[in-house]
């Protein structure tokens, strides 16, 4: 086959374009630090990178949910601790009131203090995390302990901490507290802590020493119920911490995998860039020799 000058020039141009494209590819990798800058660079690698990025985004959202849940539960636990302190103080006063050696003035002072503790109990029942009432069930925008009736519900707030894995943030405290008035719609004691405190105050005001002593079991039952709820919150917080550690480890692993797919090896890229520069310059030098002859050279 006869090799013409036009064929040599066309080959030269084609090779120069190829070398220029490869030189541009290495320069882009060096400037961005990534191996994949366009879908055409590595289609299969791009699909893998997108899947890893989706997994990372989900992981970050789960971690954010856990942080929110953890803070919500910490607020709940602090409120439960305050309630426990109030009930313990009420128990101490009940023991004091049930001794039978108190004067009427002493009994009145004890009754007054318990009334103040009940007011504090109502205040703690309206504890908030941010703008959310922690004991209101799903009705988090309305104070549950308001007036004569409990405004909260028994439904649970849930958050997702993993794919298809949900955990409750709050506690069902409706039966524990009862109505602030202490009675149900029929006017009967509703069995909540407010009803118990109201009954205790009435019993003390009557100077019914044996009746006050008999209510210690009721107070202890409420304290045990409260401690059971604190145990539930503690168990959930422990679970949050375990899941948080697992997700943080998964985030490191996913980030490493993504880096292996997307990130360029800078040292390797620099070496390839210099090699390609040498190839490009050699191609230019060879081309200069190919197109050097003129028409005058053929007329000699």
CATH number of the domain enclosing 168: 1.20.1330.10
pLDDT tens-place values along the chain, 300 residues long? 566 666 766 766 777 777 777 776 777 766 676 776 666 666 777 788 888 889 999 999 999 999 999 999 999 999 999 999 999 999 999 999 988 788 888 899 999 999 999 999 999 999 999 999 999 999 999 999 987 889 999 999 999 999 989 999 999 999 999 999 888 888 888 889 999 999 999 999 998 889 999 999 999 999 999 999 999 999 999 999 999 999 999 999 988 888 777 766 667 767 777 787 777 777 777 666 666 655 555 555
Let me know the angle formed at the C-alpha of 154 by 160 and 164, rounded to the nearest 5 degrees: 15
CB 180 within 8 A of CB 194: yes
In a domain, 210, yes or no: yes
Q: Let me know whether 60 and 145 are in one domain.
A: yes
**14 to 1, 17, 118, 132: CA distances (angstroms):** 20, 5, 90, 68
In a domain, 35, yes or no: no
Half-sphere exposure of 165 (CA within 13 A, CB side): 13
- Which of 259-274 are b and which e, b meaning 16 or more Cβ less than 10 Å from the residue's Cβ? eebbebeeeebeebbe
Q: Let me know whether 281 and 178 are in one domain.
A: no
In a domain, 42, yes or no: no
Q: Let me know whether 212 and 291 are in one domain.
A: no
Its domain, for residue 281, covers 265-300
In a domain, 274, yes or no: yes
Q: Let me know whether 249 and 283 are in one domain.
A: no
Q: Let me know whether 272 and 200 are in one domain.
A: no
In a domain, 67, yes or no: yes
Q: Is the dihedral of CA 12, 14, 17, 23 positive or negative?
A: negative
Q: Let me know whether 228 and 88 are in one domain.
A: yes
Contacts for 92 with CB less than 8 Å, ≥ 6 apart: none
In a domain, 44, yes or no: no
Q: Let me know whether 62 and 166 are in one domain.
A: yes
In a domain, 249, yes or no: yes
- Which of 140-165 are b and which e, b meaning 16 or more Cβ less than 10 Å from the residue's Cβ? beebbbbeeebbbeeeebebebbeee
Q: Let me know whether 249 and 271 are in one domain.
A: no
Helix (H/G/I), strand (E/B), else coil: 179: coil
Q: Let me know whether 124 and 180 are in one domain.
A: yes
Instruction: Quote the number of domains for the chain.
Output: 2
Q: Let me know whether 221 and 78 are in one domain.
A: yes
Q: Let me know whether 230 and 190 are in one domain.
A: yes
Q: Let me know whether 62 and 110 are in one domain.
A: yes
In a domain, 291, yes or no: yes
**107 to 93, 111, 279: CA distances (angstroms):** 10, 6, 101
């Amino acid at each position: 086959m006869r090799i013409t000058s036009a064929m040599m020039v066309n080959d030269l141009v084609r090779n120069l374009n190829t070398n220029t494209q490869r030189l541009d590819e290495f320069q882009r990798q060096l400037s961005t630090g990534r191996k994949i800058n366009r879908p055409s660079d590595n289609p299969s690698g791009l699909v893998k990178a997108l899947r890893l990025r989706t997994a990372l985004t989900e992981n970050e959202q789960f971690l954010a949910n856990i942080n929110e849940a953890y803070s919500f539960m910490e607020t709940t636990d602090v409120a439960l601790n305050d309630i426990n302190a109030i009930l313990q103080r009420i128990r101490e006063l009940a023991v004091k009131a049930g001794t039978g050696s108190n004067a009427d003035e002493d009994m009145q002072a004890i009754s007054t203090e318990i009334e103040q503790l009940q007011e504090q109990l109502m205040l703690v029942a309206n504890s908030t995390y941010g703008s959310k009432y922690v004991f209101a069930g799903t009705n988090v925008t309305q104070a549950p302990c308001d007036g004569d009736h409990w405004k909260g519900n028994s439904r649970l707030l849930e958050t997702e901490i993993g794919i298809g894995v949900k955990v409750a943030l709050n506690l069902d405290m409706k039966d524990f507290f009862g109505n602030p008035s202490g009675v149900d719609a029929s006017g009967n004691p509703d069995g909540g802590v407010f009803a118990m405190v109201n009954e205790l105050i009435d019993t003390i005001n009557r100077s019914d020493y044996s009746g006050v002593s008999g209510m210690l079991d009721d107070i202890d039952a409420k304290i045990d119920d409260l401690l059971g709820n604190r145990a539930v919150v503690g168990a959930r917080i422990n679970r949050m911490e375990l899941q948080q550690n697992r997700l943080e480890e998964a985030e490191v692993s996913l980030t490493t995998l993504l880096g292996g797919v997307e990130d360029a090896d800078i040292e390797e890229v620099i070496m390839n860039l210099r090699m390609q520069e040498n190839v490009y310059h050699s191609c230019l030098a060879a081309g200069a020799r190919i197109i050097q002859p003129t028409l005058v050279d053929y007329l000699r």
